[in-house]
Structure 1
Amino acid sequence: MSERTSPFARPLPILVLVAAAILLDQASKIAVEQLLPQEVGVPVLPFLAFYRTYNLGVAFSMLSDADGWFIVGMRLAIVGFVLWLWRRTPPDRLFAHPGYALIIAGAAGNLIDRFLYGHVVDFILFHTPAWSFAVFNLADSFITIGAGLVILDELVGKKSTDR
């Protein structure tokens, strides 16, 4: 393995990262379900609170009126597509491979919620006195960070091929 090969280009490391992220996501949601009252803000920092709520849709509650099986099918299709991208991505792409793992883990974490509860458990709220962001969870964060890593990899990869 060359020094520029991503360890996440191989199945075992990517599976370990996916499993660890799913476990962290699910453990946080179990704790929230057991300890946090429904729709009551618990301040953590002046701009951060825990606020347990349920999302029947996808990001930002889009598709809340959609059939649950449609959303499950859509998430499974996304996971399949990301797995396909991971397999086709060259092993020297250092940021894309862990990015794909985080996207898969986040989608899987929210799928588990959908199967266990019929909805997704959200609990992280960023806010100011005049504004608040959508409530989200660790799985959503993993998806966002993963997408950011894939974009970063594209930018870094393009820059190195331009030389």
Structure 2
Amino acid sequence: MTFLTLVVALVVALDQATKALVLVYFPLHTVKEIIPGFFNLVHARNTGAAFSILAGAPSFWRQAFFVAVTILIVVMILLAYRKLKSDDVWNRWGYALIVGGALGNLVDRVRLGSVVDFLDVYVGAYHWPAFNVADSAISVGAVMLLISLIRGK
């Protein structure tokens, strides 16, 4: 599990380091335009899941739900990871990125009660929901697994 541990640790470290910079240098709701019409750095908090799902639910139940679901998903992925062949590098990367991202956001939920988001991609008035390094790792890992599934691997 050395590969898995290394990738997960790198994703969590990069995620937490970038979020720490945001917490220190960007007051909540700050927006800094980087590429006009396309990309901003922001400081947003997401108490829900992707696209703020369940953000309005009572805090205790929302937190308990997200922590439990994250732990369940991580355990399921780790069990699936153990069944991969050592030469299945593509799927090993996919699983490792998802676990790293999930744990990176879990650290925020446990520590802060919400997830720090800071990457804001948009075209004109159309904004993708703000996201972070952990979200990116989860998305890239999921796409890798989807491609593998489509390719029949």
Taking structure 1 as the reference length, the TM-score comes to: 0.86
| Match 1:90 to one of 77, 85, 88 | 85
Measure the CA separation in 1 of the matches of 2:33 and 2:22.
14
Residue 57 of structure 1 corresponds to 48
| Match 1:133 to one of 124, 128, 131 | 128
Measure the CA separation in 2 of the matches of 1:98 and 1:70.
27
Measure the CA separation in 2 of the matches of 1:117 and 1:38.
13
> For residues 1-163 of structure 1, what are the structure 2 equivalents within 5 Å?
11-46=1-36, 47-64=38-55, 65=57, 67=61, 68-156=63-151, 158=152
| Secondary structure of 2:124's aligned partner | coil
Superposed displacement of residue 32, structure 1: 0.3
| Secondary structure of 1:95's aligned partner | helix
Confirm or deny: 8 A CA contact 1:94 1:153 kept in the other structure: no
CA RMSD of aligned residues (A): 1.3
Confirm or deny: 8 A CA contact 1:93 1:153 kept in the other structure: no
Question: How many residues were matched structurally?
Answer: 148
* Larger gyration radius, structure 1 or structure 2: 1
Structure 2, unaligned runs of 5 or more: none
**Counterpart amino acid of residue 55 in structure 1:** N
| Secondary structure of 1:103's aligned partner | helix
**Counterpart amino acid of residue 113 in structure 1:** D
| Secondary structure of 2:130's aligned partner | coil
Residue 6 of structure 1 corresponds to none
Superposed displacement of residue 89, structure 1: 2.4
| Secondary structure of 1:63's aligned partner | coil
Measure the CA separation in 2 of the matches of 1:94 and 1:20.
17
**Counterpart amino acid of residue 3 in structure 2:** P
Pick the structure with more strand per residue: 2
Structure 1, unaligned runs of 5 or more: 1-10
Measure the CA separation in 2 of the matches of 1:87 and 1:146.
17
Measure the CA separation in 1 of the matches of 2:10 and 2:125.
36
Measure the CA separation in 1 of the matches of 2:66 and 2:138.
16
Deviates more, 1:98-107 or 1:128-137: 128-137
Confirm or deny: 8 A CA contact 1:56 1:119 kept in the other structure: yes
User: Between the two proteins, what is the percent identity of the paired residues?
Assistant: 34
Measure the CA separation in 2 of the matches of 1:100 and 1:76.
14
Taking structure 2 as the reference length, the TM-score comes to: 0.91
